Chains A and B, each alone.
Chain A
Amino acid sequence: MKLLYCHLLPEVEVSEIKFWSMIEINYLTEGPVSQKLISLLIEKMGRRTDSGGHSIFLGQVRADEIDGKKVKAIEYSAYVELVNIEAENIKKKIFSAFPDVKSVNIIHSTGIVNAGEISLFVFISAGHRHQSIQACSKTVELIKENLPVWKKEIFEDDSHKWK
């Protein structure tokens, strides 16, 4: 059986079946969304022959300058139980509004994510390009609106500001 690294516990290897089932039910990952996880998900989508279009959104931490201080990282926190409920609701809304959509994957970071690293990953697969693009945009908007996640900007001098 092929073993993969689990994105929730990067040091733990799990079976491929378990890995994908964890992706289906877990929407949060500790630290940044890794390039490894992103490439694994793209590889997975390549096996879907019912889809003609995939759309990806990657949210990245910006090194904003606020009051003369530069953001070096964002610390995310979440209400895990409610994240799971709301992410399921978002998926239901997308499937209902875009019937051509075959799959919706959402992964959001918790904990520290440095400037330049990825904190949000959205991956939509659809039969055709139009609905994959529209559904991806709508999913990101619904995440911003409904996912119980909070962020604390951490500056280079280690002071912080809640957003």
Chain B
Amino acid sequence: MTGVQGTIGLRRTKPHLEGKNMEVKVLFFGVLTEVSGTSIKHYHDVKSIGDLKLKIYDDYPEIVHYNFRISLNSEITDNDLSLKSGDEVALLPPFAGG
């Protein structure tokens, strides 16, 4: 158990990459995992959520036909917020629990 915690500690202390190496993590959920063929992808040099969405549409044009919301660091938002290195953005199709 201490080994696992140690690994997480090391990852957190790793300096964030800035400038040209700025990187955000994008998570795909539900049907969008199938449309994109992945559940996780890293994007570089994206200034905002709007900017990121354009890059995602470039990579996966089919996604434009799907309805989804966005969360930034586990908080759902409808705003075109600016992004910083290390941010986690998720694409959330309509929920279907129960």
Interchain CB contact under 8 A, B74 and A77: no
- Residue B85, interface by CB 8 Å: no
The reply to whether B95 and A150 contact each other, CB–CB distance below 8 Å, is yes
Interface size on A, as a range, is 20 to 34
Q: A79 touching B27 by the CB < 8 A rule?
A: yes
The listed residue with most A CB atoms (<10 A of its CB), out of B27, B33, B71, B97, is B97
Note all chain A residues with C-beta closer than 8 A to B74.
79, 81-82, 85
**A140-B98 in contact given A79-B90, A150-B31 (Cβ < 8 Å):** yes
Docked pose: A149 CA to B97 CA in angstroms? 5
| Residues of A close to B95: CB separation below 8 A | 144-150
Question: Which of the residues A59, A79, A85, A144 comes within 8 Å of B92, measured between beta carbons?
Answer: A79
Question: Is B30 in contact with chain A by the CB < 8 A criterion?
Answer: yes
Give the shortest distance, in Å, between A163 (CB) and chain B (any CB): 5
Q: Which residue of B lies closest to A109 (CB)?
A: B97
Chain A proximity of B24: nearest CB distance (Å): 16
Asked, given contacts A79-B90, A150-B93, whether A59 binds B30 with beta carbons under 8 Å apart, the answer is no
Asked if A120 is an interface residue, CB under 8 A from chain B, the answer is yes
Q: Interface size bucket, B side?
A: 10 to 19
- Let me know if A151 and B90 touch, CB within 8 A: no
Q: Is the CB of B92 within 8 A of A162?
A: no
Q: Mark B5-35, 1 if CB is under 8 A from A, else 0.
A: 0000000000000000000000101110110
B contact residues around A150 at 8 Å (CB): 29-31, 93, 95-97
User: How far apart are the CA atoms of A144 and B31 in the complex, in Å?
Assistant: 17
Bound together, the chains give a CA A149 to CA B29 distance in angstroms of: 9
Q: In A132-161, which residues have CB < 8 Å from any B CB?
A: 140, 143-151
Which one of B76, B90, B92, B97 contacts A76 once the chains associate, using CB atoms below 8 Å?
B97
| Interface members, chain A 4-61 (any B CB < 8 Å) | 59
Which residues on A are within 8 Å of B, measured CB to CB?
A: 59, 76-79, 81-82, 85, 108, 119-120, 140, 143-151, 162-163
Q: List 5 A-B contacts (CB under 8 A).
A: A77-B29, A79-B27, A148-B92, A148-B97, A150-B95
